[in-house]
Amino acid sequence: MLRRSLSRLCAGEEKRVGTRTVLVGHRPVADTEAYVAQKFCDNRIVSSKYTLWNFLPKNLFEQFRRIANFYFLIIFLVQVIVDTPTSPVTSGLPLFFVITVTAIKQGYEDWLRHRADNEVNKSNVFVVENAKQVRKESEKIKVGDIVEVKADETFPCDLIFLASSSTDGTCYVTTASLDGESNFKTHYAVRDTTVLCTDEAIDTLTATIECEQPQPDLYKFVGRIIIYGSNQEPVARSLGPENLLLKGATLKNTKKIYGVAVYTGMETKMALNYQGKSQKRSAVEKSINAFLIVYLCILLGKATVCTTLKYVWQSNPFNDEPWYNEKTKKERDTFKVLRMFTDFLSFMVLFNFIIPVSMYVTVEMQKFLGSFFISWDKEMYDEEIQEGALVNTSDLNEELGQVEYVFTDKTGTLTENSMEFIECCIDGHKYKDCMAEVDGFSQPDGPLKYYGKAEKSREELFLRALCLCHTVQIKEADQVDGLVAHPERKYTYISSSPDEIALVKGAEKYGFTFLGLENNFMKIRNQKNETEMYQLLHVLNFDPVRRRMSVIVRSSTGKLLLFCKGADSSIFPRVQQEEIQQTKVHVDRNAMDGYRTLCVAFKELTEKEYDKIDRQLNEAKMALQDREEKMAKVFDDTEADMHLIGATAVEDRLQEQLAETIEALHAAGMKVWVLTGDKMETAKSTCYACRLFQTSTELLELTARTVGESDRKEDRLHELLLEYHKKLIQDLPKARGGLKRSWTLTQEYGLIIDGSTLSLILNPSQDCGSSNYKSIFLQICLKCTAVLCCRMAPLQKAQIVRMVKNTKGSPITLSIGDGANDVSMILEAHVGIGIKGKEGRQASRNSDYAVPKFKHLRKLLLAHGHLYYVRIAHLVQYFFYKNLCFILPQFLYQFFCGFSQQPLYDAAYLTMYNICFTSLPILAYSLLEQHISIDTLTSDPQLYMKVSDNAMLQWRPFLYWTFLGAFEGLVFFFGVYFLFQNSSLEDNGKVFGNWTFGTIVFTVLVFTVTLKAFLEAAKNVFCICSYADFCFHMAGNNSPDLYQPFPRNSSNSFKKYKREKSSGNEAPSFLRNIHYLHAFSNFQQSQLFLE
């Protein structure tokens, strides 16, 4: 207990709560006196939300947290308690329908989750007990059990890898169900347990595991295993992510493995990642809430007016208590204030149908069913990966039609992330062509003092560094996902990074071939076809903070070498400064050509230096608290005072139709920002290649080069910000019309900023004289047509998105990326798009929508987004319109019944109006409406701007629909009222009553609002057909200049017609001229509609 308490006090930045101790195989060790048994959860996975016992109360509680449902519940209770003019059924039945439909939908979804959980929990696994395999259900696995997993099986819980069928203690797994990565990952068994590869041998193991408490990060694990021998001192070994096999991952190309369960059930990393993303709300929902407030005010106003006029009417004693309706003693004794309040509630109940209770259900159904059109779109299906678009949430469909800012990653999003080795530089000499010998070709690059080639020893050292400094694995050429073996060899390279494979293949081009890793020895074949062996001592893994990786190896002659490769910004400060210039020229030139560059360095170690590094690394690896910080410190000290050898250039091809897609987004009024971790020159070249920057674009730089590295860099930054602000905001004329999406009119500007400068802007020092950096920077950015942010950390990407999202006007933002480093900005933006790329599926798993390629963004936004927004805008406006039409006659009727709260409609009509009479037609309309063809929407991006800025749900169209509903309600009521001036309408003299009056009003009402929905759909078909008819007749009249896309040349077309008519060149048929004018008239109507 004391140790656990101390662990809590010593917890690092990750806020781990102590550690856990696991007895391997539940076998006690000699010194267990101090061990306190810990309780661990079972291995059941529970992803369901409800149980049979809590479904009803929990679901009802969640549903009545919605304002509309709670409002109608209050109305229903008022009808039950107070003597109201309408039956409680009129409000209770629609509410019951809405609650029931939603409960059935949520219950069915939860039943599916229960079924999926049972499939996992009841699956069979094998546990080693008493040197025998015992079949168990997965949910019965306990922490400490030794589990055997065979090839192509899924790991049932989080396991520490102990041994495998491979003699070197390795296994290969795929984590597609966790992060979507289909490539093989190599995991390593604990060094001292690799020989325990049978049931009998593994059962003899006596060990304990101390590790951190469960946490959701898939790529972090800290622990150690203590192995107890019979007559030996206990041996402690460190455990890291490479030793942990995660639940949900699949064993590949390995016959079997043994592992001990450390995390089970809901404490596994997969289960801890079940937590949902923050709920995003669309602008349409906000508009609905605003409109609901307006209609709630109308409701309160109607109830107040009727209550007031009722007591004005009853101020006359004859009206208050006529002879045929005398009050009871109880009614006379009731306080007047209480009677007024009761009457007010009664009028509220009578008019409450102005609030559309079924609109929420209809909107949810429209979003859910409408999202299938994205998944079914064959044009967004990619043959290469055999996948199409994916919809992770349907709540944001309409937001796709309102995007103003697009934030995109570069590598894997704008590019293919398919790396090809182009060239390398050794001591300032460029090697580009494939060589028969290493020193066959070389040419000088840049303003060097000498010409010729590098020394042969330096060339061989560089190529050995490429062959040794990586984490690439060799696999026999068989069914390996996504990898194609070289036709001349019977193996293929496997790595989680395509850059590393490209570099290893590049070294192979120049005569040095990596042959694989066996028993911690790396084998390479040199140019002379000789095999060289290097003992792999340590791997200093790559991480995005260091931006480099290193290996320490021992050659066959006993020489100790450290090889390091990484970004130039992380390598140059760690090498001899006089070696930098000759390589920097090459790096900068390759970056300007759009290539990805890496620098290569080395250092020779003495035995004393290595012993110190080895001791520090082992101590850091054994730490349970703050292991990452301690490892980073050792890495930083080790990778110092190196010697630069050269650099490499790898090409990452642009995605197909990239330039056309970005131009279409620009034409649609969207601004595209590139947020990348790459070098400025590389990213800048890519931006020019994809036409994000035009040749006429004036670039403004806020980088370390322009700001400088001196102590005055904040002052210099302030000067640059003021200079750019003056150029873009003060000196340029303001855009006429106040268009929200109007940019600079006379000159296009682009901004380039790097991560270090952004840190100065977002986090200025306390003694800095200017505190408005962020405001000025934001104003500059919003005036630029494109922005490039390079050298960005993942957190900085999210900060950029948040900064723009929170500006005045709250513009709709969209983030698109393909890697784990893009997840933060995808979650931050209003709409997150994931690319199903080669950097794993973390981005697509955390996104709202996922597409195979960047080019599919064009149709997703310009076509699907446009149509979804128009459909739901019509749906929302129509619901308010039809309910106002419905309830206004009820309000007017009170003026003719002495404000007695007499309902105009029968209770059945009140109940069924919103449930079935008027909801289904508008639902069908909102799913199938296509006012403009998809081809037209994708080919003419400017149509996207016609519905931008929530144009169809602004107050002007809302007031139009409201006044239209009020006008039609007046017509319905007074039209029937004047029809009923003679109340004896039948031949037998039968007098029609108020129910007949209300039924006729209701019949005309339902027919009219349904016809309105039909006319809205027919109007669009009419416009499209009219346009086609007009074009057909223009072609028939042999007038090529008339055959132009509308609406640009409509006036010229009519002038042409008048000119032909005045010159006497009329068509021979009078009927043809009439048809011509009819087509032109229809075309003009369609033009007005579209504008």
Q: What count of Cα atoms within 13 Å lies in the side-chain half-sphere of residue 298? A: 21
Alpha helices in 919-1069 (DSSP H): 919-928, 934-939, 955-979, 994-1036, 1050-1062
DSSP state of 541: -
Question: Is 94:72 a contact under the CB 8 Å cutoff?
Answer: yes
CA distance 793 to 567: 14
Rounded to whole angstroms, how far apart are CA atoms 134 and 131? 9
Query: Rounded to an integer, what distance in angstroms lies between the CA atom of residue 486 and that of residue 1053?
Result: 62
CA distances from residue 764 to 595, 756, 854 in whole angstroms, order as listed:
33, 11, 36
Whether omega for the bond prior to residue 444 falls within 30 degrees of 0, making it cis, is no
Q: Is 801 exposed, middle or buried (0-12, 13-18, 19+ CB in 10 A)?
A: buried
CB 753 within 8 A of CB 788: yes
CA distances from 187 to 169, 198, 223, 276, 912 (A): 8, 19, 15, 29, 63
Q: How far apart are CA 965 and CA 961, in angstroms?
A: 6
The question of whether 409 is a catalytic residue gets the answer yes
- The DSSP output letter for 24 is G
CB 622 within 8 A of CB 583: no
* Angle subtended at Cα 43 by Cα 41 and Cα 49, rounded to the nearest 5 degrees: 85
What the block records as the tokens of 685 is 């070249």
Q: How far is CA 899 from CA 328, 808, 894, in A?
A: 19, 47, 5
The CA distance from 498 to 485, in Å, is: 14
- The total of other beta-carbon atoms located within 10 Å of residue 123's CB is 14
User: What are the tokens at 478?
Assistant: 């068989």
CA gap 826, 841 in Å, rounded: 13
Helix (H) / strand (E) containing 1076: helix 1070-1090
Query: What stretch of H or E contains 724?
Result: helix 713-725
**Extended beta strands in 526-595, E state:** 531-540, 548-555, 560-566
Tokens of 911: 């109940």
**Inter-CA distances, 18 with 36, 166, 215, 268, 392, Å:** 14, 35, 12, 17, 36
Given 409, 427, 499, 848, the catalytic residue:
409
Closest CA to 258 of 135, 191, 171: 171
How many other β-carbons are positioned within 10 Å of the β-carbon of residue 7?
19
SS3 content of the chain, % helix, strand, coil (to 5): 50, 20, 35
Number of H helices, E strands in the chain: 37, 34
| Short-list 361, 38, 64, CA closest to 211 | 38
CA-atom Rg of the chain in angstroms:
37
Give, in degrees to the nearest 5, the angle at Cα 233 between 231 and 235: 125
Amino acid at 46: V
- Looking at the DSSP bridge assignments, the partners of residue 263 are 158
Q: Residues in the chain, how many?
A: 1091
Residue 594 region, left (φ>0) first, then alpha (ψ -120 to 50), else beta?
left
CA separation for the pair 476, 491 (Å, rounded): 4
Catalytic residues, which ones? 409
